[in-house]
């Protein structure tokens, strides 16, 4: 009589195989559900801004040739990746890195090609050029920080590489709907939830962030939002600063320039001057807000900083300040020895929709004087740039500075 076990061997093998396949399937499903749960519940993004410790940076005397008339401080704004135009401009003004101090006013990339933007970043980072962040630089910083975060997650590198290969020429800023539709229908649909709301993958800022090196990123994130030279009484900022709190009357005691600083010696003009310079930076809320100093173009009727054209243009806000409201009674004669100035260098969005450089000047007791455009070489929208020479004069000099022109 044959052994019955031989008849059951095929069935036993089938049961074992079925159990093994069922185990593998269930394990895979559970892992997939777990992964989806992690992605779908991850809404708390890390801080991508890198603002901490990089708002205001004081420039030491050794970096700026304050008292050397043989040297120049050259400010250039809104390069927007136009590296060839930057080279032409530096040649035009006979820039000498051994003699001159170059300061950029932000927005180093994104308007030109990615390659030119990277070349501009390479020039700035390799030469350790002083400068401040612009609103476009900030977006590039945030995208690169986001990419670092994605790359730290399992599967993140694969997703980024897949998008690079699938959409090499897509402009996410314009064709975002097409990209979103593909992401939702692909196996990477859950990864789309890892993009902060309002961000556009594969746009111009994304492309520059993706292409730049760690050295470029470290340079950008090291840039402050405001550069202040206490010795030179100069401030460099991308968009602008306000001379007062726009929601308060100019004579309001809460305005930092509506009264004398509290010091033991009211005749110590150097100390008074420095205190009021720091008050402009530290006591006016808008001047401590990252978005404002990188984007302001106007002030609305409700006293809010705006990046649009509605409201009062920034230049007019500056011009409206009356000297009689700042530290002096009406009709009182201004002492001749109190004609100190704080120069604020930034860009300005004009009615002709082109970037030009303006110098806003404020004297130490609060009178803001709006100066003419300084050495306009060009307009970035036409792939041209502007620069201005910052005058060097002795601290005790009361003479109005003269500006070089091309």
What string of H, E and C letters represents the secondary structure of 157-212? Answer: HHHHHHHHHHCCCCCCCCCHHHHHHHHHHCCCHHHHHHCCCCCCCCCHHHHHHHHC
- 77: number of Cβ within 10 Å: 28
Question: Mean pLDDT throughout 250-268?
Answer: 79
Once rounded to an integer, what is the mean pLDDT over residues 80-94?
A: 88
Structure confidence at residue 313 (pLDDT):
83
Spatial separation of the C-alpha atoms in residues 102 and 347, rounded to whole Å: 16
Structure tokens at 5: 């076990």
E strand segments, 80-182:
101-104, 130-131
342 CB neighbour count, 10 Å cutoff: 26
Neighbours of 140 (CB within 10 A): 29
| Residue 355: per-residue pLDDT | 32
Residue 235: is its pLDDT beyond 80? Answer: yes
Q: CB of 89 within 8 A of CB of 79?
A: no
pLDDT at 242 over 80: yes
Q: Which residues contact 357 (CB under 8 A, 6 or more apart)?
A: 75, 77, 105, 345, 346, 347, 348, 373, 374, 375, 376, 386, 387, 388
What pTM was estimated for this model as a whole? 0.76
- Residue 343 tokens, joined: 């120069």
Confidence band of 220 (pLDDT split at 50, 70, 90): very high
Q: How far apart are the first and last CA of the chain?
A: 113
Question: Mean per-residue pLDDT for 279-304?
Answer: 91
pLDDT at residue 207, rounded to an integer: 96
The pLDDT value given to residue 310: 85
Backbone torsions φ then ψ of 59, nearest 5 degrees: -95, 125
Tokens 């290969």 belong to 165
- In the DSSP assignment, the letter for residue 399 is S
Stretch 374-378: mean pLDDT: 36
Cβ-contact 340, 364 below 8 angstroms: yes
What is the average pLDDT across 215-233? Answer: 92
- Across the beta sheet with 226-229, the strand order is 56-58, 226-229, 234-237, 341-349, 355-363, 368-373
- Contact call for residues 61 and 93 (beta carbons, < 8 A): no
Maximal CA-CA distance, the chain: 129
Q: pLDDT per residue over 296-316, tens digit each?
A: 888 998 889 998 888 888 877
Mean pLDDT of 13-40: 57
- Tell me the two tokens of residue 339: 């004609």
- Specify the pLDDT at position 359: 38
Query: How many angstroms separate the CA atoms of 308 and 292, rounded?
Result: 12
Q: What is the pLDDT of residue 275?
A: 85
**Residue 131 CB: number of other CB atoms within 10 A?**
27
């Amino acid at each position: 009589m044959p052994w019955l076990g031989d008849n059951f061997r095929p069935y036993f093998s089938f049961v074992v195989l079925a159990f093994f396949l069922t185990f593998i399937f269930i394990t895979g499903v559970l892992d997939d559900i777990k992964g989806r749960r992690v992605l779908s519940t991850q809404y708390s993004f890390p801080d991508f801004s890198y603002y901490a410790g990089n708002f205001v940076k004081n420039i030491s005397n050794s970096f700026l040739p304050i008292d050397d008339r043989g040297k120049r401080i050259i400010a250039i704004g809104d390069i927007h990746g136009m590296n060839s135009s930057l080279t032409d401009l530096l040649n035009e003004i006979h820039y000498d890195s051994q003699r001159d101090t170059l300061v950029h006013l932000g927005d180093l990339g994104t308007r030109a090609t990615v390659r030119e933007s990277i070349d501009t970043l390479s020039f700035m980072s390799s030469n350790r050029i002083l400068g401040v962040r612009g609103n476009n630089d900030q977006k590039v910083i945030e995208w690169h920080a986001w990419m670092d975060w994605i790359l730290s997650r399992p599967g993140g590198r694969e997703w980024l590489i897949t998008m690079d290969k699938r959409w090499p020429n897509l402009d996410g800023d314009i064709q975002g709907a097409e990209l979103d539709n593909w992401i939702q229908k692909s196996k990477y649909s859950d990864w789309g939830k890892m993009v902060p709301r309002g961000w556009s993958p594969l746009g111009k800022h994304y492309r520059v962030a993706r292409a730049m090196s760690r050295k470029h990123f470290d340079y950008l994130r090291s840039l402050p939002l405001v550069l202040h030279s206490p010795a030179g009484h100069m401030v460099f900022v991308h968009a602008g600063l306000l001379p007062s709190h726009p929601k308060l009357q100019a004579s309001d005691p809460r305005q930092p320039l509506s009264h004398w600083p509290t010091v033991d010696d009211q005749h110590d003009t150097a100390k008074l001057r420095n205190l009021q310079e720091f008050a402009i930076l530290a006591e006016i809320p808008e001047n401590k807000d990252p978005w404002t100093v990188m984007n302001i173009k106007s002030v609305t009727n409700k006293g809010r900083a705006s990046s649009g054209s509605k409201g009062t243009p920034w230049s007019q806000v500056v011009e409206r300040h009356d000297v009689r409201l700042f530290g002096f009674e009406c009709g009182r004669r201004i002492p001749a020895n109190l004609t100190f100035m704080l120069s604020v260098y930034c860009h300005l969005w004009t009615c002709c929709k082109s970037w030009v450089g303006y110098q806003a000047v404020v004297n130490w007791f609060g009178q803001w004087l709006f100066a003419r455009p300084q050495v306009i070489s060009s307009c970035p929208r036409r792939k041209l740039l502007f620069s201005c020479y910052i005058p060097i004069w002795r601290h005790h000099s009361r003479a109005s500075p003269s500006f070089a022109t091309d």
